[in-house]
Chains A and B, each alone.
Chain A
């Protein structure tokens, strides 16, 4: 099963684990399975309509999956996915 590295702010939802193994043939499927296994994680990864939040970045190895095949990026046994935050904000006008 692929491994997913969990960033510090989300570890409280994965029983403190910094890395979890989740089944899935694509990055999207693996992340979806992660959210099903740890339901409290879902709202921090996905918007209400089920899209991955813009500041949630998923890397396969050293590559952002946006520059691979996105959610359809294939993953296999031993592959490592990392969820990496970007930090954004700012005052409202």
Chain B
């Protein structure tokens, strides 16, 4: 299912990725499913609380996820997925990403280097957890 994300929200993700560099950043994308498309209405930053190696790992704690889910529901929206950055690495999910992924959620990955974000792609875990399907990003 395509993920529609406007330029403003793309800009927020890029900014977060640049600020966090060389560490990974992460956050939630909230919005709604409409006419076969996931429409992002807002992006919310999360702290990367992974205890170490934040240059190649990120973690969003469960209570933060719960808070995002509740905050989205109060606004008649839902959490569509999460973004994170891959510093100096392609915008493709790693084996570590796959092992930790949930179905349904969109996983947007931004490849970021010293000069900023070079690529952003979106992925959804396959039902059988064997890999990902790429989702079309629509602006």
Which A residues fall within an 8 A CB radius of B?
Answer: 7-10, 12, 40, 43-44, 54-55, 57, 59, 64, 82, 84-93
Q: Are A10 and B101 in contact (CB under 8 A)?
A: no
Some 30 contacts from A to B, beta carbons below 8 A apart, are A7-B65, A9-B102, A9-B104, A9-B105, A10-B102, A12-B104, A43-B128, A44-B102, A55-B100, A57-B62, A84-B65, A85-B102, A86-B59, A86-B60, A86-B61, A87-B58, A87-B65, A87-B82, A87-B102, A88-B58, A88-B59, A89-B57, A90-B50, A90-B57, A90-B58, A90-B84, A91-B56, A91-B87, A91-B94, A92-B94
Contacts of A92 in B (CB 8 A): 56, 94-96
Given the known interface contacts A7-B69, A12-B103, the answer about A88 and B95 at a Cβ–Cβ threshold of 8 Å is no
Minimum C-beta distance from A81 to chain B (A): 13
Secondary structure of the B contact surface, majority rule: mixed
Write the chain A residue with the least CB distance to B65. A85
Number of residues of chain B lying within 8 A (CB) of chain A: 37
- B102-A90 in contact (CB<8A): no
Interface string of B58-75 (1 = CB under 8 A from A): 111111011001000000
**B84: A residues at CB distance < 8 A:** 89-90
Please state if A89 and B97 are interface contacts (CB–CB under 8 Å): yes
